Chain A
Amino acid sequence: MSLSAQYLWIIPALPLVAAGIGALTPRSGRSLVAGAAIVALVFSFFISCAALSTALANPAAHLTHNFIWFELGNDTVRLGWLLDPLTAFMCTMVTFVGTLIFIFSLGYMQEDENFKQFFCFLSLFAAAMLGLLVANSLLLLFICWELVGLASYLLIGFWFHKPAAAAAAKKAFITTRIGDLGFLLGLLWLYDSAGSLLLFDNGNGVLEATALGALGSAATVCGLSVASAIGLLLFCGAVGKSGQFPLHVWLPDAMEGPTPVSALIHAATMVAAGVFLMARVYPLLTPDALQVIAIIGAITALLGATIAVAQHDLKRILAFSTVSQLGYMMLAIGVGAPGAAIFHLLTHAFFKALLFLGAGSVIHAAHHEQDIRQLGGLSVKMKLTFATFAIGTMALVGVPLFFSGFWSKEAILHAAHATAGSHFPFYAALVGVVLTAFYNTRLMAETFFGYARSHAAEHAHENSAVMTTPLVVLAFFAIALGFLGTPAYPWLQARLSGETAVHGHSLLDGVGLLVLSSGLVAVGIAAGFALYGRTRRLRTKATAPDPLAIAAPRTHAFLGDRLKFDELYAATFGVVNTFLATASDWFDRYVWGGIVHFFALLGEFSGTVNREADEQGLNAGFDATSEKLRATGQAYSRAQTGDAHGYLRFLAVGFVVLALVAMWGGVA
């Protein structure tokens, strides 16, 4: 099977058509719309597979197809499609995971009255994400990027009658848009310096040697080279989309959407877009820019894992784990290992989709109870969900050798260790490993072990096959995918960097790090069990305080409040924003409006002075004459109807006469 880049547009177009069908079908056409969405994505998956086999046949090639969008001055604005291993791997993953999430939604959203609309938006989301992946132009990528933002806005706010969901949707859109403005500026700067936004264009693309060389030799601005500045501005977009510190605040709130949406946002689409963007423009990134990216990634990895320790909401814990894992991916980019970043992105997509769908399964079974203190004891009631969720957790924690997350995290740790730059990211990543093992053990223990601590948890039972089958499939890949990139045979990383040969090394090289990280995982799990897994704890009521809250109540509360980032932003940016809005309005009303009124008053005053002078001084003699004139006037005024309509008719006649004079007068 081989696929020409020319036909790559079909991959995003199929879900887009499904979205169109969804938009035009009446509310009753549930199965038609859901069917169209799933069938379209399945076909996109097949085409993505063809694309993948084409790309793997010659991994170093960047197959492109460019076309003119519109003419601009002496130039044209061109867009295009790009096929290389990065695009192909991502497309395959998105369509595959997406299909499973779609199928799961069939069961999860069964009773929602806007079922049809849900599938319409899901298709739009998938289409935008796939468009972003196949774009060979940063402009097209940006367009799809913003459409991903729109689709996530619609889906996070899907239950828009809930004020919290409406607010979360707006927060997600605005926060990511802050990052997008940086992206836009970076794009403009790149456009201005390179004269094109095509990534690959027979040697003239911005990722090709000519443009990169020209950028590298460009002057510096404020001690930063132009290339670094552009790279960092583009990174702003990724910070917003991929929930990196300091713009991570929207991600946990995005949990207000239905759970399949959370799975889609956190696993396959949206947050992956930022990491993908950085991997895509990797050749543009200078060492300075990479250093910043690595540090932001490390901070995010630590921050997410720390906050997750003190959350009680099942989905929020997973959300912060996403924040943390995305930090790892960015960190990998920053330390010069985009292959490892994408490897982790792919494994994470599967096990995080698994975890979110598993959480959805729990929430659906427990009548929308998602506070882990209210759950418990579900391991016996929902065996399949429990087993698959446990696999997902072990993959996320990085339990050695058998789980995909272990291998992809290993690749990142190795790269962070080997980097020539700062070693802060490396140590942060190690601390993150312990924390991740700890809070996930807590999550498992509280949700699945011990006794049910609420009515909802007592009466939970396993879901139908339409919801559990996707879990099983995802669980399989949460294990299997890791073997694509082990240090012994890093096939995936090799293909992503365009190599046909795979250079592995024995697992015993650098075995110290392997052992160290395995040890750290063990420490985290042991600590988690010690605090949350002991029988005494397991028997307690839902109201019993968290052991950590007893040990350090203030710190725990601070972490529980997510380090008060929302409050901090409200007190700074929020206040500045309100001030600016109030000041703008006040200036308009009183300063600029006041000046206008001053002139108006001045006019009125001089008019009065004039009139009085005329009346008292000059007109007295004329008054007698005027009196007679007035009498005559009154006689005439009977002809005046006082009807605006009549006046307007005269006005209209006047216009027409004027026009006729104009035309005929000219001819004469």
Chain B
Amino acid sequence: MNAVPLLSLVVFTPWIGAAVLAFLRGISPATTRALTLAFSLSTLALSGLLLFQFDPHSLSPQLVERHTWIVALNVHYHLGLDGLSLLLVLLTGILTPAALLASWYHLSPSLPLPLSPSSSPRLFGSLFLLLQGAALGVFLALDFFHWFLFWELSLVPAFFLIKLWGGPGAPRAAYQFVVYTIGGSAFMLVGFAALFVATGTLDFAQLAQLGRDGTLAAKLPGSGHEIVFFGVLLGFAVKVPLWPFHTWLPATYAEAPTGAAMFLTGVMSKMGVYGFLRILWPIFPAPLHYAAPWLSALALGGVVFGAFAAMKQTDLKRMVAYSSINHLSYCLLALFAVSYATGRNVATGPAASAALSGTLLQMFNHGLSAAALFACVGVLQTRKAHALSLPSDTGVPPVSLHDFGGVRTAAPIFAGLCGLSLFSSLGLPGLNGFVGEFLIFRGVFGLHPVAAAIATLGLLATALFLLTFWQRVFHGPRAGVTATAFADLNPIELATLLPLAVLMAVFGLFPGLLTGLFNPLITSWADHLTLP
């Protein structure tokens, strides 16, 4: 036990910030912005401390806080940090401030482009901080009870952010998003209730131990084991989402305000993949192994159909949303391939560690590049609103592939940063996206060559639609919105995009900075692939 509950501080500082904002009635928008940003930056600052104290070679959770909470239910308040959690805490720490900067105009009712129907920056700021804290809780909790609380609580602020600040179809999209996700989670909750009845514990590590040695299967007679597995699977499949449970996503991302869309794709979609890695795979190794061929087919569906559907979109936000489905499906494909290969008499070690490292890198890198892309689309939206002189209470206008032309001539800096994000997203070597995708393909090829070969179709389609985006919007003669004045990035927009762009290049050239955090963990996972 450590003196300072560092992990609790990481989780609860944003919530304290939310409470502070909620109570400070009458503060100026400038103070609100400063406070919100400061509290959201706490995660990044504390991550520095975590990096300092974290030992990648120790495989068990570190900086653990474990306290008895509800004795009658054997529930513990249990937080812990390993390489996987640290990576995602870092990602949250980087993306939340960026998302807030991208939402600066929601926080500044006096700017010429307030664009928001609700003029309360305090509400926006506190909702965002609530969302941030909830996500951090998900990444650090090691007991199902409060993990699930964090998981569900993240939906509440997300709902309000989308509904109150989103586009014209936002109320419906927000509703569908929350109901669909809760629908999935309900099955997961029932599944865990059954687990608790059978085992008497909700601790992830203990459950994983029971899952590994086969006790769990014995304690859930009949097909109970499989039913529970499918319940939990459904919860995560909707969250990531796994194809075809993805239909809520394009509308939600398209209608969400820029900052929320960045957070949704950058951090919240990782909560689903995290659930697969932290909960489903360790606790249910055998059912996952047997379901893996089918699940791999679904993940391949996401890779291929996600990319092809993106090609058909004219709404830029929907296009980026579909590219997220495609990118996250690679993560799941790699995990399913590893699970599929588990227990077979083949040397899977190198391929499995490549696939799993690739998954983790892809989670992080997709967070950076997809968030940056949404920020870029947000810039296009504000320019369009400006060009059309939309009144401030109509909300952000949707932007289509055909609204622009020649933006590269008009705004070269914006074009450069957006181009970098696009090429990072299509996996250009030298930028971050490539390393993760290469390792995933390396791993999946070693475990299931045919799946890897089919998945290359997704790579091709991704290049096609991202370059179409680039060509239509940035190249050609100046047209549409761009025909009149089109301002290049203002300092706030630059502050949003530039750090992300720098990180894309840095992690593209030095992936070791990230893999060093989790390589021992991945190695131990890959070396102990067994079925009960």
Interface residues, chain A, with chain B CB atoms under 8 Å away? 69-75, 139, 142-144, 146-147, 150, 157, 160-163, 166-167, 169-170, 173-174, 177-178, 181, 184-185, 188-189, 191-192, 195, 577, 580-585, 587-588, 591-593, 596, 600, 644-645, 648-649, 651-653, 655-656, 658-659, 662-663, 665-667
**Interface set, chain B 59-80, CB cutoff 8 A to A:** 65-69, 76-77
Known pairs A192-B442, A584-B308, A588-B250; A651 contacts B156 (CB<8 A) = yes
Q: Which of A73, A191, A577, A652 contacts B22 (CB 8 A)?
A: A652
A295 to B191, CA, bound (A): 61
Q: Which of chain B's residues have a CB closer than 8 A to the CB of A69?
A: 511-512
- 3 tightest A-B CB contacts, nearest first: A666-B67, A73-B353, A70-B512
Interface pair A71/B67, CB less than 8 Å apart: no
Could you list some 21 contacts between A and B, CB below 8 A?
A: A69-B511, A71-B512, A71-B516, A74-B349, A75-B353, A146-B429, A160-B474, A160-B475, A160-B476, A161-B409, A161-B475, A169-B471, A174-B460, A585-B308, A585-B313, A587-B244, A588-B247, A588-B250, A593-B247, A596-B176, A663-B67
Q: Which of chain B's residues have a CB closer than 8 A to the CB of A577?
A: 308, 311, 461, 464
Q: Which of chain A's residues have a CB closer than 8 A to the CB of B526?
A: 73
Q: Which of chain B's residues have a CB closer than 8 A to the CB of A181?
A: 456, 459-460
Q: Which of chain A's residues have a CB closer than 8 A to the CB of B453?
A: 185
Interface pair A166/B429, CB less than 8 Å apart: no
Q: Which of A146, A163, A169, A581 contacts B308 (CB 8 A)?
A: A581
Q: Which of B350, B423, B430 contacts A73 (CB 8 A)?
A: B350
Instruction: State whether the Cβ of B278 lies closer than 8 Å to any Cβ in chain A.
Output: no
List the A residue with the shortest CB-CB distance to B65: A666
Q: Which of chain B's residues have a CB closer than 8 A to the CB of A139?
A: 438
**Interface set, chain B 415-440, CB cutoff 8 A to A:** 423, 428-430, 434, 438-439
Closest CB-CB distance, B516 to chain A, in whole Å?
7
A-B contact sample (4 more), CB < 8 A, given A73-B523, A195-B350, A585-B313 = A181-B456, A184-B459, A655-B133, A666-B65
In the complex, per-residue mask of B457-478: 1 if CB is within 8 Å of any chain A CB, else 0: 0011101100110010011111
A598 to B429, CA, bound (A): 44
Q: Which of chain B's residues have a CB closer than 8 A to the CB of A169?
A: 471
Interface pair B309/A585, CB less than 8 Å apart: yes
In the complex, per-residue mask of B115-134: 1 if CB is within 8 Å of any chain A CB, else 0: 00000101100110010010
Instruction: State whether the Cβ of B105 lies closer than 8 Å to any Cβ in chain A.
Output: no
* Highest count of chain A CB atoms <10 Å: which of B23, B176, B445: B445
Instruction: State whether the Cβ of B42 lies closer than 8 Å to any Cβ in chain A.
Output: no
Known pairs A160-B475, A189-B445, A656-B16; A174 contacts B464 (CB<8 A) = yes
Interface pair B23/A649, CB less than 8 Å apart: yes
A480 to B438, CA, bound (A): 44
A553 to B285, CA, bound (A): 69
A465 to B91, CA, bound (A): 56
Interface pair A588/B467, CB less than 8 Å apart: no
Instruction: State whether the Cβ of B370 lies closer than 8 Å to any Cβ in chain A.
Output: no
Instruction: State whether the Cβ of B19 lies closer than 8 Å to any Cβ in chain A.
Output: yes
Interface pair A655/B423, CB less than 8 Å apart: no
Interface pair B354/A73, CB less than 8 Å apart: yes
A648 to B515, CA, bound (A): 40
Instruction: State whether the Cβ of B5 lies closer than 8 Å to any Cβ in chain A.
Output: yes
A194 to B93, CA, bound (A): 40
Q: Which of chain A's residues have a CB closer than 8 A to the CB of B160?
A: 644, 648
Interface pair A163/B476, CB less than 8 Å apart: yes
In the complex, per-residue mask of B231-253: 1 if CB is within 8 Å of any chain A CB, else 0: 00000000000001011101000
In the complex, per-residue mask of B370-382: 1 if CB is within 8 Å of any chain A CB, else 0: 0000000000000
Interface pair B515/A71, CB less than 8 Å apart: yes
Instruction: State whether the Cβ of B408 lies closer than 8 Å to any Cβ in chain A.
Output: yes
Instruction: State whether the Cβ of B200 lies closer than 8 Å to any Cβ in chain A.
Output: no
A577 to B467, CA, bound (A): 15
A658 to B152, CA, bound (A): 14
**Interface set, chain B 378-408, CB cutoff 8 A to A:** 406, 408
Q: Which of chain B's residues have a CB closer than 8 A to the CB of A585?
A: 308-309, 312-313
Chain B interface size, under 10 / 10 to 19 / 20 to 34 / 35 or more: 35 or more
Q: Which of chain A's residues have a CB closer than 8 A to the CB of B409?
A: 161
In the complex, per-residue mask of B148-185: 1 if CB is within 8 Å of any chain A CB, else 0: 01000100100010001000000000001001100000
Known pairs A70-B512, A73-B353; A185 contacts B445 (CB<8 A) = yes
Known pairs A177-B463, A195-B350, A666-B69; A166 contacts B476 (CB<8 A) = yes
Q: Which of chain B's residues have a CB closer than 8 A to the CB of A166?
A: 471, 475-476
List the B residue with the shortest CB-CB distance to A660: B12
Known pairs A72-B353, A192-B351, A648-B160; A584 contacts B475 (CB<8 A) = no
Known pairs A72-B357, A584-B308; A644 contacts B456 (CB<8 A) = no
Closest CB-CB distance, B531 to chain A, in whole Å?
20
Known pairs A73-B349, A184-B441, A191-B442; A173 contacts B463 (CB<8 A) = yes
Interface residues, chain B, with chain A CB atoms under 8 Å away? 5, 8, 11-12, 15-16, 18-19, 22-23, 65-69, 76-77, 120, 122-123, 126-127, 130, 133, 146, 149, 153, 156, 160, 164, 176, 179-180, 244, 246-248, 250, 305-306, 308-309, 311-313, 349-354, 357, 406, 408-409, 423, 428-430, 434, 438-439, 441-442, 445-446, 449, 452-453, 456, 459-461, 463-464, 467-468, 471, 474-478, 510-512, 515-516, 519, 522-523, 526-527
Q: Which of chain A's residues have a CB closer than 8 A to the CB of B122?
A: 645
Closest CB-CB distance, A373 to chain B, in whole Å?
29
Closest CB-CB distance, B243 to chain A, in whole Å?
8
Interface pair A174/B467, CB less than 8 Å apart: yes
Q: Which of chain A's residues have a CB closer than 8 A to the CB of B12?
A: 656, 659
A215 to B267, CA, bound (A): 43
Known pairs A588-B309, A659-B12; A142 contacts B354 (CB<8 A) = no
Known pairs A663-B77, A666-B67; A188 contacts B512 (CB<8 A) = no
Q: Which of chain A's residues have a CB closer than 8 A to the CB of B349?
A: 73-74
A434 to B510, CA, bound (A): 52
Q: Which of chain B's residues have a CB closer than 8 A to the CB of A177?
A: 459-460, 463
Q: Which of A70, A170, A648, A655 contacts B467 (CB 8 A)?
A: A170
Q: Which of chain B's residues have a CB closer than 8 A to the CB of A146?
A: 428-430, 434
Interface pair A652/B350, CB less than 8 Å apart: no
A150 to B427, CA, bound (A): 12
A195 to B75, CA, bound (A): 46
A594 to B21, CA, bound (A): 42
A177 to B247, CA, bound (A): 30
Interface pair A666/B68, CB less than 8 Å apart: yes
Closest CB-CB distance, A220 to chain B, in whole Å?
14
Q: Which of chain B's residues have a CB closer than 8 A to the CB of A658?
A: 149
List the B residue with the shortest CB-CB distance to A197: B442
List the B residue with the shortest CB-CB distance to A69: B512
Q: Which of A587, A596, A667 contacts B67 (CB 8 A)?
A: A667
Q: Which of B120, B429, B475, B515 contacts A645 (CB 8 A)?
A: B120
Q: Which of chain A's residues have a CB closer than 8 A to the CB of B456?
A: 181, 184-185
Q: Which of chain B's residues have a CB closer than 8 A to the CB of A652?
A: 15, 18-19, 22, 126, 130
A653 to B66, CA, bound (A): 24
Q: Which of chain B's residues have a CB closer than 8 A to the CB of A584?
A: 305-306, 308-309, 312
Q: Which of chain B's residues have a CB closer than 8 A to the CB of A666?
A: 65-69, 76-77
Q: Which of chain A's residues have a CB closer than 8 A to the CB of B428?
A: 146-147, 150
Closest CB-CB distance, B175 to chain A, in whole Å?
10
Q: Which of chain B's residues have a CB closer than 8 A to the CB of A163?
A: 475-477
Interface pair B523/A644, CB less than 8 Å apart: no
Known pairs A71-B519, A73-B354, A584-B308; A665 contacts B180 (CB<8 A) = no
Q: Which of chain B's residues have a CB closer than 8 A to the CB of A192?
A: 351, 442, 445-446, 449
Interface pair A645/B123, CB less than 8 Å apart: yes
List the B residue with the shortest CB-CB distance to A68: B512
Q: Which of chain B's residues have a CB closer than 8 A to the CB of A170?
A: 467-468, 471
A166 to B349, CA, bound (A): 45
Closest CB-CB distance, A648 to chain B, in whole Å?
6
A658 to B130, CA, bound (A): 13
List the B residue with the shortest CB-CB distance to A582: B312
A184 to B475, CA, bound (A): 29
